[in-house]
Structure 1
């Protein structure tokens, strides 16, 4: 078995570069896109084009972001949709500042911890009606639009409505995921009616129409956010979930509100990296960067055993705090300022053994009181960093009749451990994995970016920042370069890491490095498709142009004009 592992790792490490290029960096799969008037980067080319069209019609970055997100909910239902939640960081050119939006939904008012105790359940199910929380996406659109939008919502949603009525071809990766999702959910109510036309799963090149979603979008465009959270749509959602044995009610939907929040930041070698505070996990990215700032990362070298080892240990430390302290701040006094302080990072860094992987760490003792990512920039200087998803790819399996979308299963991320900060309670937001990011330099916008992939996201954010700043990669190469992902840390739902977890590497890490990591005690593995989908836009203050990047792991595209 050991010999097989060695041969296997050797084979996967041979493919070092995506392709030979004259310039742009050895890992870059293509050149950056460069434009003056606007830029859109999403995980689907047609959604990107819709965003560009909205900008050309006179809309701003916020209008284009909503239009592109609506298109992604149609075209990439395996990772997004109006049955899910939304988070955004917005740079306002007028105000010269960042705004944070938390548009995540809450648990049903009548669903309590006692229900799960009575059922003798130790974990909230991944699928079905019980993990369904209020979908926050649509309210997030209208919060963004009300504060910053310029075009009317009917115009913004029209491109997605047209594609939903007339059809569009399914792309390669989304077709792959839809095929697998159809096997899982084909017997669930209403799934086949919406996502399996003629009884067949959709695959690459299939032309897909979703008139149900077109009708729902049309109602939202004409009737506003209340057309979704009140009235017939809300009744259809609530009645369906309760018929399936769940708890989501019309009242839960009607009472939903998003929240504008102050982004949190930490300075990394002169650059301010911005994330959103809990209930999301962006704090972990800042904690990892604070720990790594204490090392000469550039001297370690990209892809070296020394760099990967120290990064992995920093991740483990941050994720133990993530498991203990990240939750809905409306229900808990969270020590966020302490968690992202340089002093705390200095203390945590002392726990890292440079020669040995830790099997476990304890969280710090502090005083307490699949997804889509997209980014848009416009000619006015506004920039939007937006992430939106249903969780576990397509979501809960719960498709309300004739509405055209699946509901999320974010409620699975609550803990059933009494006394845990993230324990399920009525009207509470669960711990959340999706996080947008932003980087500023001297108070000016520099990079709007993010990537997809559950627990990969804070690890990926930190790696992108390090690639850009320490390893001086360009925007495209920073996303294409091989990534690492550590799995097995303690989780906000409960459970403790005791065996060190597993370090998963992409192709491009050489065999000598893998051997050195194994000698330090890391369990090294390889896995396809677990590294998220990166999109980014960079502002060049000197030349007054935008750079755009969309990585090769997904079907996406960056485009400008």
Structure 2
């Protein structure tokens, strides 16, 4: 009888989850869909589709527009993308992550008293990746000219009405902004007044950035006049940015303020086209970027969860939450120790980490009745026929289990917050996402970031520098694969996603939110696949967040980054019975009405040959379709 009641309860839970009302409607489209983190940027995507562009063109236009709007990213940051090419019927990965500059060594940062590279300022900057990534994608997979694609962003740089979210971020970060002369010139439009940042709705003009974007278009036009191809003309703009007068001013402005980036650093850096990593979950191929991101952690978690009957547990039941939490912890423990830049030695054991057999072994570590605070990295090497060279290090290292010293949010997110509301606001707003699809079959998922407010602008370029150096470690005992080194990419949290079913696009999805990204995306995917939610329901659904991981962002001291074993964030709506059961399992509970960063997604309805869009019900994320 007890078993029957449990089964009936789980069925009711699943049915109620799939029937939930949403605050925003599902977005339907037949010809194209454009979704991103800002309404004006979504409009830029729609404008580009209306010009006859494909999904790559529209995605690049949205990327350019969001970079121009600051707050969560800018032009000097980094871009990570997955693209489904309908001509080859394959998913490709774009690696436009910048690298550590000349002089960025362990000894350099330790000499300044850091345990991690800094979170802000010129020394936090990797080389800019977004311009190169955008130009590479547009040249190779788009159809329009750079002039056409940059037109909305250039019009915005000439002056657009700033939204309250960005304006208030500038005001909160103004003391740090004043440390950098070029940032102060751009951002503090009312210097010396009580409010020094722009007002909401104020027309925000960026003359220097407009000049930089104009130079890119001029380079394209000059190349076309010489009779070069469309692709070569766009890459002429690329060369002007990374080796020409734009590069010279960027380097000058960076070094003037204490930065390390050199002309050689910019000239040597290139965007890379890569093979994505994937696993199959119950007949669905799920694609992520390689291990220089945290993306494979979602794939590892799916492999582990495949060993459990999640649907029978019921959506967000105590058993489901516990199983999910433990599986994520196992995946993140491996992320924290084994992930890094694959172009540098040592080579990450990804074959072993993503094997189904390794996942089964890891799944056996999950205790059904309590949290395991001692979860650490596993040993994937035997699953690719090798001996783990780090067994001694893992045994000597132990695990930092101090539960009193680390905030849930990266410390940079709460530095200027006067309340818990602002603290959570900053937590969820880091980064943005871009989703685009068209009726030719092109699909694009991007998670760009870097150069967020308060950003240090490099000279008179109008370009804010990245803050991604902070995701390196200085101590190989923490992660021997992610130790800072000139020319190397940090292991980042940025992680677009794509899934194919029966060889055709099934889902394209991404989220913002630092270390919570993979957690939110995992639950979004399971909400659709296991619990029958549509994309909007899944985007709005209550999540859980684990704190039992090493933070990737914020703080230059080890204690700023340490895990909080057993600490879990739950939605305010979590039932009292579920709360009590989790407490009995040893969890420390906290609650909020926002438990996920803004998720944006596209579902492909092949039965009706239409597109379904989902866009978060909080923040500024917005979609347009036709």
Q: Deviations over 1:442-464 (max 9, x none)?
A: 11101111001111111111111
The change in CA–CA distance for 1:498 and 1:411 in structure 2 (over 3 A counts) is: closer
Tell me the number of residue pairs that the alignment of Structure 1 and Structure 2 aligns: 536
Partner of 2:348: 334
Corresponding residue SS for 1:526: strand
* Mapped contact 2:26–2:613 kept (Cα < 8 A): yes
Deviations 1:322-370 (A, max 9, x none): 0111100011311112111111111001111111111121201132691
Matched, 1:430 2:495: no
Secondary structure class of the residue paired with 1:455: helix
Q: CA–CA distance in 1 between the matches of 2:376 and 2:56?
A: 41
Match of 2:37 among 43, 47, 54: 43
In structure 2, C-alpha distance between the alignment counterparts of 1:402 and 1:54, rounded to whole Å: 29
Which runs of structure 2 are paired with 1:283-298 in the superposition (5 Å)? 283-298=296-311
Pairing of 1:17-166 with structure 2 (within 5 A): 25-75=19-69, 77-165=70-158
Judge conservation of contact 2:524–2:539 (CA < 8 Å) in 1: yes
Note closer, same or farther for the CA distance 1:183–1:474 as it changes in structure 2 (3 Å cut): farther
Deviation, 1:243, is 2.1
Cross-structure match for 1:11: none
Q: Distance in 2 between matches of 1:243 and 1:445?
A: 48
User: Relative to structure 1, is the Cα distance of residues 101 and 195 closer, same or farther in structure 2, using a 3 angstrom cutoff?
Assistant: same
In the alignment, structure 2 segments of 5+ residues that lack a partner are 1-15, 220-236, 382-387, 390-429
Aligned alpha-carbon RMSD (Å)? 2.1
Q: Label 1:267 to 1:409 Cα distance change in 2 as closer, same or farther (>3 A).
A: same
Quick check: 1:252 aligned with 2:302? no
Give 2:453's match in structure 1, choosing from 387, 394, 398: 394
Q: In the alignment, does 2:369 pair up with 1:352?
A: no
1:168 Cα deviation from its structure 2 partner: 2.3
Q: Corresponding residue for 2:239?
A: 226
Runs of 4+ in 1 over 6 A off after TM superposition: 492-496
Distance, in Å, in 1 between the alignment partners of 2:197 and 2:290 is 39
Which residue of 403, 420, 424 maps to 2:461?
A: 403
1:498-539, CA deviations, whole angstroms, 9 ceiling, x for partnerless residues? 751521123332232222212211111135767322111111
Kept in 2: contact 1:479–1:534 (CA 8 A): yes
Q: Does 1:307 align with 2:367?
A: no
How far apart in 2 are the matches of 1:330 and 1:540?
38
The 2-side partners of 1:174 and 1:24 are apart by 35
> Could you tell me which of 207, 212, 232 is aligned with 1:211?
207
Seen in structure 2, the aligned counterparts of structure 1 residues 236 and 488 have a Cα distance that, compared at 3 Å, is farther
CA 1:31–1:79: 2 relative to 1, 3 Å: same
Q: Equivalent residue for 2:197? A: 201
CA contact (8 A) 1:327 1:421 kept: yes
Q: Tell me the secondary structure at the aligned position of residue 457 of structure 2.
A: coil
> Aligned equivalents of 1:184 and 1:311: distance in 2?
39
Q: Distance in 1 between matches of 2:594 and 2:75?
A: 24
Q: TM-score, normalised by structure 2?
A: 0.82
Query: What is the distance in 1 between the residues matched to 2:165 and 2:596?
Result: 14
Q: Hey, what does 1:4 align to over in structure 2?
A: none
